[in-house]
Amino acid sequence: MSKQLSETDRLRKIVEAFPQVTVTVLGDMVADEFVYGEISRVSREAPVLILRHRERDVVPGGGANAVYNLADLGVNVLPVGVVGEDETGKLLLKRFRQKRIPTSALIREKGFATVTKTRILAGMTHSARQQVVRVDREPESEPNQHVVRELILAAKQYAHASDALLVSDYGYGAATPEILDSIRSGGWNGIPITLDSRYRMFDYAGVTAATPNEPEVEELLRLQIGNNWGKLVSAGEQIMKKMKLQSLVITRGRDGMVAFARKQGPVDIPIYGSDQVTDVTGAGDTVIAAFTAALAAGADPQAAAQLANYAGGIVVMKRGTATVTRQELLQALQQAPPSVRPH
């Protein structure tokens, strides 16, 4: 058997093990709302388009999208987070129940506004729809201390029955460094902790792995990477050292991703599929979901990154906030063997 075939077979076996894996997700649960309309005419009131409303869809976003991706990959997923007692919060819970995802640790807080990102998309009858504006509705304050205590207790209980913990921090208060520290205090079982934090990654020193994108790395370290491989490697090594990570994946859009691991050189993985991307909405959630599932199933960081790369390449070819199924991942492995770029 060739090395290429054996690597493909190894990755396939990891994916096939997903249904035996359980992952807890501590995260900011976001509702992604899509409002579709056809361009009718230009308004007389202002130089803006008038859209004829066609349809509306509300799907899980943010941490909730990571949960949804794990479920579609066949993983047993246990979400911990906060939603409001509003319409979008109820729709999120309905979406979860449709996939038989447990919702007992999704705390309904009275007066808390479910984070909702509304995208208005416009187009002609027979043309592709384009996003024209996004409206974000956010809670006025972070969850109160009573809710935080409930989050910690639920996450601790779930983590003891899990193979990995995924932290999805979008800055809304349901996933914070302080909450994670409390979860890990007293009898932590040592499962991998993966992190997606948009604004405060360095505050999570001691997690197992992180999956930032390149612009987040540039902002974090205050540098410009561009196409400079040396700068990229140096940036990854700095983050690994400062955060004491076991592994790191830096996603680079159409340039694929780079995987770092302790005592190993960086691995440059080219994008799977076409670099003519359809929609990147939620792609980071898909990447960390696949990466975490693979680590939980016993994969090494490079194999986990390869599977995350396949998942990311598949999802960016779909419109809106989308997920990748386990079957799609297996089909991608069958169609194209994993590859790396030499340096």
Q: Looking at the annotation, which residues are catalytic? A: 285
Q: Are strands 29-42 and 49-62 parallel, antiparallel or unpaired?
A: antiparallel
Handedness of CA 68, 73, 79, 81 (dihedral sign): negative
Tokens of 329: 């991942």
- Who contacts 100 (Cβ-Cβ below 8 Å, separation ≥6)? none
Q: In Å, what is the CA distance from 95 to each residue of 32, 71, 91, 125, 179?
A: 12, 11, 6, 29, 26
Largest Cα span, the chain = 69
Comparing CA positions, the residue from 297, 291, 303, 295 lying closest to residue 333 is 303
Q: Using CA of residue 198, residue 203, residue 204, residue 206, what is the dihedral sign?
A: positive
**Alpha carbon of 26 to those of 81, 128, 156, 159, 210: distances in Å?**
6, 35, 10, 10, 14
Alpha carbon distance 240, 234 (integer Å): 10
Burial class (CB in 10 A: 0-12, 13-18, 19+), 277: middle
CB atoms within 10 A of CB 44: 7
Tokens (6 digits) for 154: 């639920």
DSSP 34: E
Contacts of 149 (CB under 8 A, 6+ apart): none
Cβ atoms of residues 305 and 318 within 8 Å: no
